[in-house]
Structure 1
Amino acid sequence: EGNHAEITLDVTGPCDVLASSFEVPGTVELVNPDFHIATIVDKVNLKMTLTVRTGRGYEPADLRDDEDRVVGALKVDASYSPVRRVSYTVDNARFEKRTDLDKLVIELETDGTLDPKLAIEHSATILQQQLSAFVDLDAIAEQEAKKDQNDFDPILLRSIEELELTVRSTNCLKAESIFLIGDLIHRSEFDLLKTPNLGKKSLNEIKDVLASKDLSLGMNVENWPPVG
């Protein structure tokens, strides 16, 4: 019931006592039925009742208060953690021509009740929650995302008037809500040719001016248009 259950053992040797030798209620799952408990070499009877509980971390027996403990019962330390062993190393790493990078290698072994990948993910979540007492990591991530979203080449944020196109070409572009150079390079030649009063001559003028600035029509600028 609740967070604990009783499992029983009643075997007679000689035999190997395994986890599967225990009788368990339906609320208990044996993760490793082949786990070796003991070896009985003589024809003797081994009988015991164990109380298993759910918990977290490590709990010394002397810190656990069992008011309803049966006389003669033996209390043992409890280890609830599914992680058996964890270690890490920091190795040198290389990416393209950079050789001054580090690589974190984590080795983690569990008892099989928890996938190691999930254990690392859960640990990272706990670490983030603990650090939130000092800094709001979510707010920082949001600010960085907003910064990246608006981190455009300054030339893209300039008015198309700075391209010094003819008045006719400039007015045609503004009529199509093209006010910034970034707006212009996002359009294709086909899009511009559909603009009223903007012919092939004006298109070539626009292409030549953009080319002089290492730009062209039909360019893909991520996160364009800018927000705010």
Structure 2
Amino acid sequence: MVMDYSIVPELEPESDIILEKINSKIITEQLEEDYGKFAFGPLPIGQGTTLGNSLRRVLYSSIIGTAITWVKIDGILHEYSTIENVKESVEELLLNFKSIRIKSKSERSGKLRLEVDGEGKVSASDIMASSDFEIVNPELHLATLDTKKSKLSVEFNIERGVGYKVKNIEEKETTIGILPVDAIFSPIRKVNFNVEKVTQTDSMELENLIIEIWTDSTKSALDCLKESANVLLNQFMIISKATEENDDDKDNESEIWRQLTPEQYNTTIEQLDLSSRTLNCLKRASLDTVGQIIETKRADLLKIRNFGVKSFNELNDKFGSMGFLPEGFIWGIEEGDELELEQENETNPNEDENIE
């Protein structure tokens, strides 16, 4: 089937001339729970490898996933302990817990719990169900209880992240009872791509990009492909807005925004917990996400009705508290702006804040 979304950003008219006769499309050739095969093309010669390499690197490094980061086992203080009437050592249990694959149904962190007793084998399916998380490999063996008196009680801490996070040794040593686990956040198991030449059109050499993605079933290959494309789009968008100006403050600010993750970039203004005045001003200007705000020119943002220094400072403080800006960095207010804006605000202090 042909998908309706595009992997490349809108081109300038000069570049569009090159591709206007090509009509590139992406086709899903095969899609399963843990596998997908996609064909993208036709493309000018050389672009298949360029796109394939970029997507492959991002797929391996930057796809958001969910994993266990630490556990608490009742009665156990450190990983070198043993559990009475349980065959596996604590170290073996931690290795088994590391292999649990979790699909997140929300963007929140959370907890899961395992409570079992009596003789028998324990698998991931014995973990108590949660509305926020689903275990996709319930058949995974976790432990073996040797006698009818055996008991195992475990609390799992679930977090979202990217890539691979090595367990925090310092945390393990300072927090008694917390047993850190190496967290495999990435849902990607394997990525392959190849480039195939296609029939030439009007003396133009063309090719198709064929990309295959294997996942752990916590995310579909199609979702991972689109997420990787969005990561690249967010980075290329910044480059596409490059200017000839050499302003240190703008360079520093651009570098800060460039470090935002796609999740931060797409944060909605409702999630910022702003005052009703500031929130309504942004809504009236159709600025619904952090990304839309930072893509708005300073002058235009400061011209929004009722959006003065107070609202700007509130937004700056909120960006700082949420980790979007480094501590002490002031965004948006240039020298001389503050006094002028304060004077503007005083001209209409009783403006209605309840904007629908």
TM-score bucket (shorter structure): 0.3 to 0.5
TM-score by length of 1: 0.47
**Which one scores higher on RCO, CA 8 angstroms, separation ≥ 6?**
2
Q: Which has the larger radius of gyration?
A: 1
